[in-house]
Amino acid sequence: MRGPTKAWRRSVPAVFALCSVVGIGRARGDEPPQLAPITAGPPLERSGPDAAGRIDPARSSRLSSAERDRLYSQIERDAEELERQGAQLRRLTLLLRPCVVHIDARKPVQKPTRGSKPGSEDEAGSGVITRVSDRMVVITNRHVVNGADLDNIVIRLDDGRELRPQRMWTDPATDIAVMAVADDDLVPARLAERDMVQIGDTVLAIGSPFGLSHSVTLGIVSAKGRRDLELGDEGVKFQDFIQTDAAINPGNSGGPLVNLRGEVVGLNTAIASNSGGSEGIGFAIPISMVLFVSRQLVDTGVVSRAYLGVTLDRTFTQKTAERLGMVRAVGARVSGVTKGSPADAAGIQPDDVILEFDSQPIDDDDHLVSLVSVTPTSRTVSLGVFRGRQRIELQMPVASREQFEPQ
């Protein structure tokens, strides 16, 4: 069985750093505080020779029975504090396991080898049960189920039950798939309503790596806003990935990334790996994008995205920024404007640099594209624009991308 999580095959150099963290405290003046020594027990007696006349020279350095008992008491007190923290993880696991599913999909072979007959292949992944627009669904990655008929998709629950999806919607541009399911006793996961996760936050990844269903791994959010990954043959057009070091392996695709409050903050999708296994660099679709896409798929069957009508400079350099009067190359430089587009109507001009979109600072062109991709149509957004060595504010009603770029 082939695991579905796609590895980012670009060479990733391994960098190892040995760090030592030293905490320094001050008791009074410039003198460091003194550590309390472990209280010694009664003096140890040296052992005499054994039956063979041999002497153990290390006998005097061993802990006595009383000293060992005192150490065990200290360890027990310290362990209680750690166990209280560990109990939170156990409670999260208890809450979330029933919400996570294992998915098996049988689909036609995408690229038959020369001389082979057309056949089928099995692909495995994960998914999360939740409620979208008052409908019970399983959200997963499109690449897990793409090409499979509904009758060839098996959804396995934590308690061993098997379901078949009633209906399926997919969005190739974000690699998100939503499957409608029906059962009397399904447990929906709680989704975070917006992206509040920060770099350094503790997260759990839950899924079925290598077919080992409902595995839980722990890590942190390593980075945000990863937008230039080369994923699969079809690619993923709109990217804004969360990076995590929680172990993600083939089979984790479509499973949830969860915060310490038990809320799903992302959908595990890909790994950066030279070996095909986890090397501590995994990527998850942020919950804002998951919600934006899944709600529209369930409500209308399609995803409608906002459209500005600008061509962006993908090689916005420091030299160009200085020519425009900027200290550094930040934001998205406009190199062209589509006639009759919302940007044209708002007065956007070539060489404008979009610094803010709807009150959110823009890092680069990919960041702007990502924000526009999750903006509802038929609304007005504010733009912060750098033009003529000064900042100006513009208001722009956005349009639907389909009006200008028919599918």
pLDDT, residue 48, reads 59
For the domain made up of 306-403, give the CATH fold. Answer: Pdz3 Domain (2.30.42)
Nearest to 55 by CA among 44, 63, 46: 46
Q: Is 201 left (phi over 0), alpha (psi -120 to 50) or beta?
A: beta
Active-site hit among 104, 171, 175, 364: 175
Q: Is 143 a catalytic residue?
A: yes
CATH class entry, domain 190-291: mainly beta
Where does 214-348 have alpha helices with state H? 287-300, 318-323, 342-346
Please state whether beta strands 190-191 and 263-272 pair in parallel, antiparallel, or not at all (unpaired).
parallel
Quick check: is 373 catalytic?
no
Residue pair 286/294 in contact by the 8 Å Cβ criterion: no
Q: Which two tokens stand for residue 351?
A: 């060489």
Question: Given this model, what pLDDT does residue 231 score?
Answer: 76
- What are the angstrom distances between the C-alpha of 355 and each of 17, 363, 388? 36, 8, 14
Q: Is 5 exposed, middle or buried (0-12, 13-18, 19+ CB in 10 A)?
A: buried
Give me the percent of the chain exceeding a pLDDT of 90: 55
3-state secondary structure of 245: coil
Q: What is the mean pLDDT of residues 278-302?
A: 92
pLDDT at residue 361 in the model = 94
pLDDT, position 119 = 77
Residue that wins the pLDDT comparison between 38 and 316:
316
Residue with tokens 């950066």: 272
Structure tokens at 58: 């290390």
Helix/strand/coil for 82: helix
Q: Residue 212's pLDDT band (boundaries 50, 70, 90)?
A: confident
Among the listed residues 102, 104, 126, 143, the single catalytic one is: 143
Question: Beta partners for 153?
Answer: 105
Confidence of residue 80 (pLDDT cuts 50, 70, 90): confident
pLDDT beyond 70 at 133 = yes
Q: Is the pLDDT of residue 283 over 90?
A: yes
Q: Would residue 102 show up in a list of annotated catalytic residues for this protein? A: no
- What DSSP designation does 276 have? S
Cα distance between residue 67 and residue 301, in whole Å: 70
Task: Quickly tell me which residue has 């980012």 as its tokens.
Answer: 8
Taking 50 as the threshold, does the pLDDT of residue 320 lie above it?
A: yes
Active-site residue, from 215, 253, 294, 373: 253
Entry pTM = 0.77
Rounded to whole angstroms, the Cα distance separating 48 from 53 reads: 8
pLDDT of residue 33: 43
Q: pLDDT category, 56, cuts 50, 70, 90?
A: low
What would the pLDDT profile of 156-184 be if each residue is shown by its tens digit? 999 999 999 999 999 999 999 999 999 88
Identify the pLDDT of residue 125: 94
- Three-state secondary structure string covering 302-333: CCCCEECCEEECCCCCHHHHHHCCCCCCCCEE
How far, in Å, CA of 168 to CA of 149, rounded?
Answer: 9
- What mean pLDDT comes out for the span 293-317? 93
Q: Does residue 300 or residue 118 have the better pLDDT?
A: 300
Task: Round the average pLDDT of the chain to a whole number and report it.
Answer: 83
Where in the chain is CATH 2.30.42.10? Answer: 306-403
CATH 2.40.10.10 in the chain: give the residue spans: 190-291
